[in-house]
């Protein structure tokens, strides 16, 4: 299906259509007719009809803000008085040739998407479909329900996802949970399928990398608008897990605090339960404090290791010897000065 789980959009509003749509039946009859098999028969008419429909198809995609379309959806959208444009398939083939549209299957197969387990009825026929498209090019007219992507619109919306992340609290660390990112982009991505397409585009641009860790997908972003993302490493995963643990602990502390507060409302029946919750709360607070202290010690050890990097036992012994020599010299100088003072008094 062109849009799984969605009702197909209706005809385009009158304001989105050119003036001749309702006023010039003769011209519209020409525009709704099929293209000649060869452009050479009448290149002027062929080019005029193509320019009309190319502009209208691209404008419809941008107006709807949907990165995906198909021949059937466009036929429904441009229906006029019970008729549909007979040349839309040729128009879509031309847009594919120009790179304004791309087959969704080709796009997905062109990106390393081994992390995807969609669960929304998407199957990547790779390498069969990718190979066939490569051999045939875009000379074949798309089937009615074959999904096509507006290339420029996909790139623009992927950029919006990246900027949305950069402006959110999630950007405090480059690695985020896929589920958290999906919630952040809910207003931008109308469905899960579009969300994954945008992530694939960002992955293609090397601005994100995605990894499945213990059944959970995590996303790592590049740290600058024009930077390329580095591969996910053990440090990224470790810090992410620590942040998740701290978040869970904080949530548990908050939950226990609320439960303890509720217990106070009926002191006689829940006094013991309240004390138990308070004890548990104290334990979790202590654990959280120890966690923070551990992080501080860890940072201190790292700094100490850095400062002691060039220190050896031999150098330390040499330094002690030098200090001892200086102390001995100081004692001799002090004794000499003391002797001079006594002799001076005697004179």
pLDDT of residue 133: 54
What lies within 8 Å, CB to CB, of 31 at 6+ separation is 49, 52, 53, 85
pLDDT digits (tens, 9 = 90+) for 121-162: 444 444 444 444 554 556 688 899 999 999 999 999 999 999
**Cα–Cα distance for residue pair 11/75, rounded to 1 Å:** 9
pLDDT of residue 188: 87
Q: What is the largest CA-CA distance in the chain?
A: 135
Cα distances (angstroms) measured from residue 124 to each of 70, 106, 219, 228, 300: 18, 9, 21, 26, 50
Residues in the chain with pLDDT values less than 50: 1, 4-7, 118-132, 135, 296, 299-300, 303, 345-347
What lies within 8 Å, CB to CB, of 202 at 6+ separation is 158, 161, 162, 208
Show me where the domains of the chain are located.
Answer: 19-115+141-146, 154-221, 234-337
pLDDT of residue 213: 76
pLDDT of residue 346: 46
pTM metric for this prediction? 0.67
Helix/strand/coil (H, E, C) string of 100-119? CEEEHHHHHHCCCCCCCCCC
Number of Cβ atoms within 10 Å of the Cβ of 219:
24
**Residue recorded with tokens 């213990």:** 214
pLDDT of residue 345: 44
**Residue recorded with tokens 């479909």:** 129
**Residue recorded with tokens 């608008």:** 225
Provide the token pair at 94. Answer: 């031309």
Report the Cα–Cα distance between both ends of the chain, in Å, rounded: 118
pLDDT of residue 128: 41
For residue 217, what are the β-bridge partners? 212
Cα distances (angstroms) measured from residue 46 to each of 39, 74, 75, 101, 173: 6, 20, 19, 20, 54
**Residue recorded with tokens 């990718």:** 130
pLDDT digits (tens, 9 = 90+) for 159-214: 999 999 999 988 888 898 888 999 999 888 878 889 999 999 999 999 998 888 77
Which DSSP state fits 152?
A: H
**CATH top-level class for 154-221?**
mainly alpha
Select from 89, 79, 75 the least CA-distant residue to 14: 79
């Amino acid at each position: 299906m062109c849009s799984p789980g969605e009702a197909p959009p209706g005809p385009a509003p009158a304001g989105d259509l050119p003036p001749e749509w309702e006023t010039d039946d003769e011209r519209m009859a020409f525009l709704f007719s099929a293209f000649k098999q060869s452009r050479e028969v009448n290149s002027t008419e062929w080019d005029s009809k193509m320019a009309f429909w190319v502009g209208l198809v691209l404008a419809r995609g941008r107006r709807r803000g949907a990165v995906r379309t198909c021949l059937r959806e466009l036929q429904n959208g441009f229906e006029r008085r019970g008729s549909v444009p007979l040349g839309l398939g040729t128009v879509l083939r031309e847009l594919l040739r120009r790179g304004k549209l791309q087959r969704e299957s080709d796009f997905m197969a062109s990106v390393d998407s081994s992390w995807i387990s969609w669960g929304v009825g998407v199957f990547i026929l790779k390498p069969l479909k990718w190979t066939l498209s490569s051999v045939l090019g875009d000379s074949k007219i798309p089937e009615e329900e074959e999904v096509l992507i507006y290339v420029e619109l996909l790139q623009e919306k992927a950029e919006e996802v990246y900027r949305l992340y950069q402006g959110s609290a999630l950007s405090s660390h480059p690695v985020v949970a896929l589920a958290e990112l999906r919630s952040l982009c809910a207003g931008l991505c109308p469905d899960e399928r579009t969300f994954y397409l945008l992530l694939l585009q960002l992955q293609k641009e090397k601005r994100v990398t995605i990894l499945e860790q213990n059944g959970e997908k995590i996303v790592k972003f590049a740290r600058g608008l024009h930077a390329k993302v580095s591969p996910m490493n053990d440090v990224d995963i470790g810090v992410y897990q620590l942040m998740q643990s701290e978040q869970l602990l904080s949530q548990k502390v908050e939950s226990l605090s609320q439960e303890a507060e509720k217990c106070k409302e009926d002191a006689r029946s829940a006094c013991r339960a309240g004390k138990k919750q308070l004890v548990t709360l104290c334990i979790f607070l202590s654990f959280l404090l120890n966690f923070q202290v551990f992080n501080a010690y860890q940072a201190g050890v790292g700094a100490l290791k850095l400062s002691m990097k060039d220190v050896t036992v031999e150098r330390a012994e040499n330094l002690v010897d030098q200090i001892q020599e200086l102390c001995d010299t100081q004692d001799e100088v002090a004794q000499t000065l003391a002797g001079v003072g006594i002799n001076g008094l005697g004179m």
